[in-house]
């Protein structure tokens, strides 16, 4: 099934702005902090916007980067990762303090010298309704769904970074290598990961090769959310976004709007006070501020350079014209890097020249990025810069707002020295694209090529912005994190008005 097929779409809506063997050792027991569950409601249908009932709650989120897939293993930017967290849940998740909270697993224990993790699943977790199930009705999630998630991470049709987190599970490394390097499936000998066992429908046991104090954190990442094997087709792009999270993917109304509706069979449905969430994508960020003023956008999980310059003081607080209407929250930091591809025509000395030129012109390079830049580093030998007039390079484009501005400033800087830096649509470093740009979200494993030599690095302090009439919308230290459980906001007819 295609991600954006018309199956299971809600009724027509209006859009406002164009714009993821115990060895007799003592065990640590973690118990569900909120064991209450709720009965399933009847399936909700959205009326057309002009006919929506009084009290209808809709949150509109402004985002900068595109959503190309709701396959958790293909999520490649913060916008995508936030959307994954609406639709899916993992065994555990992060809470607003950045600590581990129960999710699909209501409790767990750790034993066998901290190498065995036993998870006890909630008995009332169901998948969203979808045509992928014969009846069209979401089936119950069971322990057997969990091993499939990790086996799929090893598949050679998906990126390897999720698998890199879990190589310490017994048998994972062997399974991964066979999947990646034995291309003829009939020659493969391993049909499962030996360190993941499911003794019954509500119990999952992980055996690790070595103790891993970060194992729960890794399981809480959107890369490890649970979905049914029925959602996965025969090719990489053949994936249907069906999870067990608090919202269902309802429809994509255009290239710029993704609609999510409340999942009435969510085990904690009473905690979800929003009827609908729209994620609105735009590459013209300043239009979001106008939309927030008009009541058409309610939350910006990130600020781009232009909005940072307009909204933030040099001390990174909200400027006075806006402080009486909006709430600014600090959400952690993200590191970016310009790197040299060693197999390209850009030599180590040439890379050092570029870094030195950037260092000498740091103000003109970074001032346009605004006051959220917290740290910069230049990897250079401080030698005299060679002439740039013979320099002609290509660099892969980036979709992150800070990356876009940085690369354009660098291109202008090199052009002023007689050189040339073309920003191309190619996605990977090659011999011709001697430089490339990487983004490093906190906790996430680096993308491929991220270990190549850095020339320039900088860190951005991330902020979110919301209207003051939204309550209980938390932020934590991870800029990609979102949690809409318990969020309170005025009815749609009241929040959709100018401040």
- CATH at 264: 3.40.190.10
Our measurement of the distance from residue 133's CA atom to the centroid of its chain's CA atoms, rounded to an integer in Å, reads 27
Contacts for 403-407: CB closer than 8 Å, 24+ residues apart: 403/336, 403/437, 403/439, 405/305, 405/368, 405/369, 406/336, 406/338, 406/365, 406/366, 406/369, 406/437, 406/458, 407/437
450 and 342 within one domain:
yes
Range of weakest confidence among 259-268, 307-316, 341-350: 341-350
Residue 498 CB burial class (10 angstroms; 0-12, 13-18, ≥19): exposed
218 and 108 within one domain:
yes
pTM above threshold 0.75: yes
- CATH at 364: 3.10.105.10
pLDDT surpasses 50 at 26: no
> CA distances (Å), 286 to each of 85, 405, 496, in order?
26, 14, 19
- Distance, in Å, from the CA atom of 117 to the CA atom of 114, rounded to the nearest integer, reads 8
- Name the H helices within 13-115: 78-87
449 and 373 within one domain:
yes
Helices and strands in the chain: count of H runs, count of E runs: 12, 18
> CA distances (Å), 183 to each of 110, 179, 351, 442, in order?
37, 7, 38, 33
225 and 147 within one domain:
yes
254 and 202 within one domain:
no
Q: How confident is the model at residue 6 (pLDDT cuts 50, 70, 90)?
A: very low
| Highest-pLDDT range among 46-55, 84-93, 471-480 | 84-93
- Name the H helices within 297-397: 305-311, 320-323, 348-360, 362-366
What values do phi and psi take at 126, rounded to 5? -125, 150
Range of weakest confidence among 268-272, 379-383, 393-397, 479-483: 379-383
Residues 6 or more apart whose Cβ sits within 8 Å of residue 498: 293, 294, 295
pLDDT tens-digit readout, 412-438: 999 999 999 999 988 888 888 889 999
Q: What percent of the chain has pLDDT over 70?
A: 88
433 and 386 within one domain:
yes
Q: What is the pLDDT of residue 493?
A: 65
Residue 28 CB burial class (10 angstroms; 0-12, 13-18, ≥19): exposed
Residue 199 falls within a domain, yes or no? yes
365 three-class SS = helix
487 and 425 within one domain:
no
- CATH at 202: 3.90.76.10
**CB environment 186-222: b (16+ within 10 A), e (fewer):** eeeebeebebbbbeeebebbbbbeeebeebbbbbbbb
Q: How many domains does the chain have?
A: 3
365 and 319 within one domain:
no
List the one residue out of 305, 264, 263, 261 whose CA is nearest residue 283.
Answer: 305
pLDDT tens-digit readout, 318-333: 999 899 999 999 999 9
pLDDT surpasses 60 at 17: no
Residue 5 CB burial class (10 angstroms; 0-12, 13-18, ≥19): exposed
Average pLDDT, the chain: 88
Q: What is the pLDDT of residue 51?
A: 45
- Mean pLDDT for the stretch of residues 435-454: 86
pLDDT surpasses 90 at 459: yes
Beta strands in 257-305 (DSSP E): 257-262, 276-281, 299-300
List the one residue out of 215, 235, 135, 136 whose CA is nearest residue 172.
Answer: 215
Place of tokens 């106008």: 290
Residue 173 falls within a domain, yes or no? yes
Range of weakest confidence among 83-87, 267-271, 394-398: 394-398
pLDDT surpasses 70 at 85: yes
Place of tokens 């959400």: 331
- Distance, in Å, from the CA atom of 269 to the CA atom of 277, rounded to the nearest integer, reads 15
Choose the final residue of a domain: 197, 229, 244. Answer: 244
pLDDT tens-digit readout, 100-151: 999 999 999 999 899 999 999 999 999 999 999 999 999 999 999 999 999 9
345 and 325 within one domain:
no
Q: How confident is the model at residue 385 (pLDDT cuts 50, 70, 90)?
A: confident
212 and 97 within one domain:
yes
Show the domain range for 279.
Answer: 250-330+465-472+480-495
Place of tokens 């810069």: 385
CB 27 within 8 A of CB 109: yes
326 and 191 within one domain:
no
């Amino acid at each position: 099934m295609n991600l954006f097929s018309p199956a299971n779409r809600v009724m027509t809506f209006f859009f406002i702005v164009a714009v993821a063997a115990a060895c007799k050792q003592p065990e640590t027991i973690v118990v569900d902090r909120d064991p209450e569950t709720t009965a399933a409601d009847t399936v909700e249908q959205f009326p057309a916007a002009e006919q929506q009932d009084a009290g209808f709650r809709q949150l509109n989120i402004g985002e900068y980067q595109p959503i190309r897939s709701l396959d958790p293993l293909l999520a490649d930017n913060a916008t995508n990762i936030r959307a994954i967290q609406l639709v899916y849940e993992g065994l555990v998740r992060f809470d607003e303090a950045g600590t581990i909270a129960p999710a699909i697993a209501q409790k767990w224990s750790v034993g066998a010298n901290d190498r065995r993790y036993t998870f006890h699943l909630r008995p009332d977790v169901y998948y969203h309704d979808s045509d992928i199930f014969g009846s069209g009705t979401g089936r119950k999630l069971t322990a057997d769904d969990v091993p499939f998630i990790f086996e799929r991470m090893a598949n050679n049709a998906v990126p390897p970074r999720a698998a890199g987190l879990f190589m310490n599970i017994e048998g994972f490394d062997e399974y991964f290598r066979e999947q990646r390097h034995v291309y003829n499936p009939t020659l493969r000998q391993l049909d499962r990961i030996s360190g993941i066992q499911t003794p019954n429908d509500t119990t999952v046991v992980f055996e690790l090769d070595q103790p891993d104090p970060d194992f729960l954190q890794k399981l809480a990442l959107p890369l490890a959310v649970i979905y049914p094997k029925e959602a996965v087709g025969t090719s990489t792009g053949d994936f249907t976004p069906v999870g067990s999270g608090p919202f269902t993917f309802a429809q994509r109304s255009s290239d710029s709007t993704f609609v999510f509706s409340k999942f009435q069979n969510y085990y904690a449905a009473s905690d979800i006070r929003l009827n609908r969430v729209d994620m609105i994508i735009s590459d013209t960020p300043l239009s979001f501020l106008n939309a927030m003023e008009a009541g058409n956008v309610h939350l910006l999980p990130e600020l781009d350079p232009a909005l940072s310059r307009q909204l933030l003081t040099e001390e990174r607080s909200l400027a006075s014209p806006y402080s009486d209407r909006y709430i600014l929250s600090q959400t952690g930091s993200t590191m970016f890097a310009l790197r040299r591809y060693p197999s390209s025509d850009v030599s180590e000395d040439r890379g050092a020249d570029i870094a030195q030129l950037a260092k000498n012109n740091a103000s003109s390079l970074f001032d346009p990025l605004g006051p959220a830049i917290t740290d910069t580093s230049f990897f250079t030998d401080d030698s005299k810069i060679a002439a740039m007039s013979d320099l002609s390079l290509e660099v892969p484009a980036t979709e992150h707002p800070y990356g876009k501005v940085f690369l354009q400033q660098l291109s202008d800087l090199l052009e002023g020295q007689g050189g040339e830096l073309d920003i191309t649509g190619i996605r990977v470093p090659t011999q011709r694209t001697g430089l490339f740009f990487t983004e490093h979200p906190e906790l996430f494993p680096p993308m491929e090529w991220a270990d190549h030599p850095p020339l320039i690095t900088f860190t951005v302090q991330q902020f979110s912005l919301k209207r003051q009439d939204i309550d209980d919308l938390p932020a934590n230290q991870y800029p990609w994190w979102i949690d809409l459980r318990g969020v309170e906001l005025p009815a749609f007819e009241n929040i959709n008005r100018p401040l």
